[in-house]
Amino acid sequence: MSDLRVRFAPSPTGYLHIGGARTALFNYLLAQQQSGTFVLRIEDTDVARSTQESVDAILDAMDWLGLTCDEGPFYQSDRSELYKEKIEQLLAEGKAYRCYCTQEELDAKREAALASGGKPKYDGTCRTRTDQPEQPYVVRFRLPNDEGVTHFNDRIKGGISIRHQELDDLILQRSDGTPTYNLVVVIDDAEMGINLVVRGDDHINNTPRQILLYEALGYQVPEFAHVPMILGADKKRLSKRHGATSVMAYQAMGYLPEALVNYLVRLGWSYGDEEIFSMDELIEKFSLNNVGKSAGVFNPEKLLWLNAHYIKTGDASRLAALLTEFLEAKGIVPSEGPDLVAVVESLRERASTLVEMADGAAFYFFDELAYDEKAHNKFLTEGHRALLSGICEQLRECSGFDEADLEAAFAKVMERFSLKFGKVAQPLRVALTGGTASPSIYDVLKVLGKERSLYRIERALTVLV
Ligand code: GLU
């Protein structure tokens, strides 16, 4: 085990979205690569917005993506005693103070500051206050050194400095007694021994404030790496307007977790011009040094392309197992149909998602096919009776049903009726699949097997127009 300790710290106020998943993935990869520790912490201090449903949704999505944590999940809601203790410590040391300013007073100060062209920040009225009246208060951090500068070296963004004049006396505890994000994140990261914080760059402005809190609490400051955000094609922050942003929506749309993982990692990280990476390769090759500074643009076509790649090349038994759920959603009982692995093999070149594959596979499971009307009128006519009967006879004679047997049978039919391959295959295709588009006719015959195939041709012979 190395000393590296990283974490993912989602707020359970919704599902796991694409951006969060990428942050979790980067942390996971770093921990795996360096035999470090990946900690999962649920930041549920905002009681009003946090739900168990969201916690479950986040855990499910991480599980689906294969992002297993080494420690946790820890819940901030279990740690309020610790936070209280630390607030007391800061108060006792004069590093924090009680602020009794009312909202009206704060609003008035803000307006006055804006009117005189100043920054609308808290003016420090209560810094020197010593009484403790019986009225609601917040606890504020006493910004150390008003004239100072805080600097850190971000592992992705480079050197960042902020003048304390830009900062406010941060609220550490709300008037209802609950601690705020900036405080608890510092306490937890420090107490959990996190030494590299990798998170979205929407938090970059919080980092100098947090560094000052680390110092005030006597903790060692970790390293930081802020990952650029993800934009939609219109260069606006990725949102529902751009399509699904929830990880599990992609599962429901028939995406494979390895495709999403591969896609997410490339959204911001590059390795030459390579596009395809297994999780093992990512663990070996991922590096913060190759994470770009600027935002990545979400490209649904590329994700679809990667998904198609993994459907083409993935283990067929696993795909068959995954396909089951999608078939069942269509009312199909997979165990009543042909071998599912063979079904997958016959369709994997043609489907980009498991939803498409399930659509394409449906015909295999219905011997009582509904024929496409146009195809029926064109290819299942009295004029095709002799041909279809001839095919039926020839197939019945086959002792085996592999490619060679089928080719030989086809050759005989083509010769007997003086027809080219396509003219034989197309009516047969409609009889077997109900339509004119399907996997290769030999594949369809092999997957269906002799008995099902003959049944379907005989049935077609009863509906000729
Ligand atoms: N809970 C915060 C969020 O979901 C993350 C905090 C952090 O990573 O420091 O935005």
Could you tell me if 334 and 391 lie in one domain? no
Residues 87 and 157 in one domain: yes
Residue with CA at minimum distance from ligand 1 atom 6: 9
Question: Is residue 98 one of the residues assigned to a domain?
Answer: yes
The helix (H) or strand (E) run that includes residue 50 is none
* Residue 400 belongs to some domain of the structure: yes
Residue 420 and residue 322 in one domain? no
Task: Ligand 1, residue 8: give the atom nearest the CA.
Answer: 8
Read off the pLDDT of residues 344-366 as tens digits, 9 standing for 90 and up.
999 999 999 999 999 999 999 99
Q: Which atom of ligand 1 sits closest to the CA of residue 185? A: 9
Kindly list the distances between the CA atom of residue 82 and the CA atoms of 86, 88, 126, 187, 206, in Å, as whole numbers in the listed order: 6, 10, 25, 8, 21
Based on the domain organization, do 358 and 454 belong to the same domain? no
The pLDDT, as a whole number, for residue 243 is 81
End of a domain among 179, 201, 227? 227
Q: Which residues pair with 223 in a beta bridge?
A: 196
By C-alpha distance, which of 147, 148, 143 is closest to 182? Answer: 143
64 found inside a domain: no
In a domain? residue 319: yes
For residues 150 and 198, membership in a common domain is answered with yes
Query: 196 C-alpha vs ligand 1 centroid, how far in Å?
Result: 14
- 340 shares a domain with 392: no
Looking at residue 114, its pLDDT comes to 87
CATH number at residue 425: 1.10.10.350
Q: What is the pLDDT of residue 53?
A: 97
Ramachandran region, residue 343 (left: φ > 0; alpha: ψ -120 to 50; beta: rest): alpha
Single residue among 348, 366, 384 that ends a domain in this structure: 366
Active site residue 240: yes
Domain extent at residue 158: 80-227
Ligand 1 center from residue 40 Cα (angstroms):
11
Say if residue 167 is in the same domain as residue 96: yes
* Low-confidence residues in the chain, pLDDT < 50: none
Q: Indicate the residue among 211, 227, 243 that finishes a domain.
A: 227
Residue 138 is assigned to a structural domain of this protein: yes
Q: Does residue 379 fall inside a structural domain?
A: yes
Q: Are residues 161 and 145 both part of a single domain?
A: yes
| Beta carbon of 154 within 6 Å of any ligand 1 atom | no
E strand or H helix that includes residue 153: strand 149-154
91 & 210 share domain: yes
**Do 352 and 387 share a domain, yes or no?**
no
How many independent structural domains does the chain possess?
3
Closest atom, ligand 1, to C-alpha of 206: 9
Q: Which ranges constitute the DSSP H helices of 43-124? A: 52-65, 80-92, 103-115
Task: Say yes or no: 347 and 449 in one domain.
Answer: no
Distance from the alpha carbon of residue 8 to the mean position of ligand 1, in angstroms: 8
Tell me how many degrees the CA angle 461-464-465 measures, rounded to the nearest 5.
Answer: 170
Q: Are residues 174 and 223 in the same domain?
A: yes
CA atoms within 13 A on the CB side of 289: 4
Structural domain contains residue 394: yes
Tell me the CATH number at 221: 3.40.50.620
* Residue in 119, 240, 312, 374 annotated catalytic: 240
Distance 409 CA to ligand 1 centre (A): 65
Cα–Cα distance, 126 to 154 (Å, whole number): 34
Q: Residue 388 in contact with residue 366, Cβ under 8 Å?
A: no
Q: Is residue 196 in a domain?
A: yes
Give me the pLDDT at residue 240, please.
84
Residue type for 341, please? V
Asked if residue 185 has its Cβ within 6 Å of ligand 1, the reply is yes
